Amino acid sequence: MSTVLVTGGSGFIGVHTILQLLAAGHDVRTTLRNPDRSADVIAMLRQGGAAAPDKVGFVTADLLRDDGWREAAAGCDYVLHVASPLGSRVPEDENELIVPARQGTLRVLRAARDAGVKRVVVTSSFAAIGYGHSPQTEPFDETVWSNLEGPDVQAYPKSKTLAERAAWDFVAREGNGLELAVVNPTAVFGPALGPDFSESIGIIKALLDGAMPAVPRIHFGLVDVRDVADLHLRAMTSPNARGERFLAVAGEIMSVQQVGRVLREKLGSQARRVPRFQVPDWMMRLAARRNPLARAALPLLGKVRRSTSAKAQRVLGWKPRGNEEMIVATAESLIGLGLVKA
């Protein structure tokens, strides 16, 4: 089987992707900013059922530095570039997110090209597709790019859009035959394997903990992390994935309030702290004056952005799990790991 480099192996998507690569028989190498995190990665892989997690190779590399990337890519057939800075808050300087996302992607691509890697799969985001546009009834698809001149487009959508555009430009101009495919997930849920999980899962945790007395009027598309990892593997090897973007979303969008309703219906007393009521928008704006998380949520209030994964299903045979299944799996994993207050 192939040798595959996964960047950002301690991250939520990264560790699930490593799990599936190992299960498929690939040799796996992964990058970490902090080499001390290798024990955490192995522990999460064991939690996920990996038979031989200690066979994963580790290389120290940072998106902001050149060191380590040549060694990381050497001898690899494929690279899955999953590592990316995340934005749970609005930074004072948007370049805190934009620079590492864009420059880090270019570092990975240069190293892959120079090492003779066949294909790189970049983890982008729906944030590079559906932001900065006027309201529309038709679902967004892979033909659309976020409009960075649109109203209320914050640093995270900018970082994902600019990083993905930079990737396509690099491969077109300097790739020397390097192939590229891109996966654009919506909000990522699914089973946590440890304390490292997606920003989206933080929503489930906050609902179960009762950290929110009421929920904001926010809607989003959902996708299970196991299906995101599966889509990466399909995009890595399918001849039909070369030069293509694939939007990853399971089905209809949901509101935070609807997610809370699923938790109460499926988990019973374990979801007793989940709020039932929705915060008026004016109250969120008031809270945003002091709360960074509330401030980051303001551009999302009342926005309904539908999207479709018809292309991934048609071209790659991808079949995502349903919304309820992934919400319940998320909650049960948090409870089982003791990450939710009893």
- Residue 342 maps to a domain: no
What pLDDT does residue 308 have?
A: 98
The residue-averaged pLDDT of 99-123 equals 97
- Torsion sign, CA atoms 239, 240, 246, 250: negative
CATH number at residue 80: 3.40.50.720
CA distances, 84 to each of 72, 254, 281 (Å):
16, 25, 30
319: annotated active-site residue = no
pLDDT above 80: residue 269:
yes
6 neighbors 83 (Cβ within 8 angstroms):
no
CA distances, 203 to each of 16, 82, 218 (Å):
19, 21, 11
Spell 11-38 as b/e; 16+ CB within 10 A means b.
bbbbbbbbbbbbeeebbbbbbbbeeebb
Specify the pTM.
Answer: 0.95
The residue-averaged pLDDT of 327-332 equals 98
Looking at residue 5, its amino acid is L
- Residue 341 maps to a domain: no
Average pLDDT over the chain reads 93
105 neighbors 179 (Cβ within 8 angstroms):
no
Give per-residue pLDDT as tens, 194-248: 988 888 899 999 999 998 888 999 999 999 999 999 999 999 999 999 999 999 9
- Residue 48 maps to a domain: yes
The residue-averaged pLDDT of 100-106 equals 95
The count of domains in the chain is: 1
Give per-residue pLDDT as tens, 124-134: 999 999 999 99
pLDDT above 60: residue 66:
yes
DSSP state of 338: T
Give per-residue pLDDT as tens, 4-52: 999 999 999 999 999 999 999 999 999 999 999 999 999 999 999 998 8
- Residue 256 maps to a domain: yes
- Best mean pLDDT range from 33-37, 52-56, 313-317: 313-317
Can you give the residue range of the structural domain that contains 99? 3-336
Q: How far apart are CA 163 and CA 82, in angstroms?
A: 12
Q: How far apart are CA 67 and CA 228, in angstroms?
A: 29
Q: How far apart are CA 123 and CA 281, in angstroms?
A: 32
What angle separates helix 225-237 from helix 12-23, to the nearest 10 degrees? 60
What pLDDT does residue 96 have?
A: 84
What pLDDT does residue 91 have?
A: 67
What pLDDT does residue 86 have?
A: 63
Select which of 118, 160, 266, 311 is catalytic.
Answer: 160
Phi, psi for residue 184 in degrees, rounded to 5: -120, 85
